[in-house]
Amino acid sequence: MIGTLHPAQAALLPPPLLPEDGNTYDLYVADQETYDSNLYRIPPDYTTVETVVVPNATKADFYNTASLGGDGQLILGQQIFDLNLRGDQNQFVHNTNLNNTAYKGDLLWNWRLGGYLSGQAGADYTHSLAGFDETRYLGRDLVDIQHYYGSGRYQVGPRWALYGGFTYSDITHSAQAAQFQDFHSTGGNGGIEYATDVNDTFALQYTYTDGRYPPSTLNTLNGQVYSPDFHDELTQFLVKYAVSDKTQINANAGYLKRQYQNTSFGSFSGDVWRLTVTWQATDKTQVLIAGWHELHAYLITEANYFVSKGGSIAPVWSPTDKINLTLNFSYENQDFIPQSGYVLVTGPLQGKLTTASANVVYTPRSNWILRATVIYQKRSANQVYYEYTDDLVNLGVLYKIH
């Protein structure tokens, strides 16, 4: 599954703390200015977005994101605890009804018992403005996302390991018109892994997910009412393989089966896979190439599932220790399955999403981070309502208080 925050929440973040940093904490302040040429992601032929929901709205807008945050790390013997907190005040120049305060926090415990048993446990919470390309609701919709997870790994021997984990998520919308997308899920996985050396591993894994919606979220087909609640089962084979000291392959392939609670309509079964190649071309240049065929959903509109087929390439260049340049190009075909809410309302939906971006990060000193980002995105579809083209530019600065 995929998901993105609205660009107003995609502000600059400090690099994560590492175990070798020891017991430490950082406080930081940040500010980001953003220009969005198509804030509401409306179709090209639409000249206005003014409605009862968004009076006096403008298609393009500037907005400012002022941030305050901190992160800390505590090491107690073999246990490592990481805490990250952040708050954002988002102010729009024209679409002032979207002004909001966003915040997020996450706690991670990297745990270990003896030399053979280890894992993670954590929780994170996000409160942010929904992305209009996801919900298609042209109004102020603040989304709360809670996520809890845990995992364990037992090293059976020098080459074999058993692992498993669980996850729980809960998503709620503030806008009444979008609350039919309120959602919670539970899931788990288990697998066995074999390592041929430090860099090469092979694993067989089983994963399940149960998705649940409010009782009021019902769909109708041929006069029959049914629920969008679903159950997923995925069995897959995972490979990490170092072709050379400069080339790393990560791949997974398996069979996914999705079933709905009281109907076979819209059920999905088929192969899913992803291949990622990381190539360290030079000491300062890295290239990431990926291709996939998967079942996806936008994070805050889980009912709208689609088969995603696509690829991406992302060169990364660090000419100095202070400068990092990342380019990214991706292309994706989106074929929404019949059960999706979009399809039930408007008919068969297929889309193509093209994204190109450039990101420059400059760290003149250890406590200063500057960033500039340019993003171009275009989605074409067989239904005009779901098409849009957008240009986004932002400039950000972050200061760390050690």
Structure-token pair, residue 328 = 């990214």
Q: Does position 303 have pLDDT exceeding 60, yes or no?
A: no
In which band, very low, low, confident or very high, does the pLDDT at 341 lie, cut at 50, 70 and 90?
A: low
Structure-token pair, residue 83 = 């805490």
Beta strands in 183-322 (DSSP E): 183-195, 201-212, 219-221, 224-226, 230-242, 247-260, 268-279, 285-297, 305-320
Structure-token pair, residue 262 = 């009281």
In which band, very low, low, confident or very high, does the pLDDT at 350 lie, cut at 50, 70 and 90?
A: confident
375-380 long-range contacts (CB < 8 A, ≥24 apart) are: 377/353, 378/353, 378/354, 379/133, 379/351, 379/352, 379/353, 379/354, 380/351, 380/352
222-261: pLDDT as tens digits = 555 667 788 999 999 999 999 999 999 999 999 999 887 7
pLDDT value at residue 219: 57
% of the chain surpassing 70 pLDDT:
87
pLDDT value at residue 51: 65
In which band, very low, low, confident or very high, does the pLDDT at 45 lie, cut at 50, 70 and 90?
A: confident
- Strands 100-113 and 201-212 come out as unpaired
Q: Give start and end residues of each alpha helix (H) in 89-201.
A: 132-135
354: nearest Cα among 340, 375, 368, 374: 375
pLDDT value at residue 131: 83
d(CA 392, CA 379): 15
| Beta carbons of 168 and 148 less than 8 angstroms apart | yes
The CATH architecture of the domain made up of 7-401 is Beta Barrel (2.40)
d(CA 353, CA 264): 29
Q: What is the dihedral of CA 226, 232, 233, 238, to 10 degrees?
A: 160
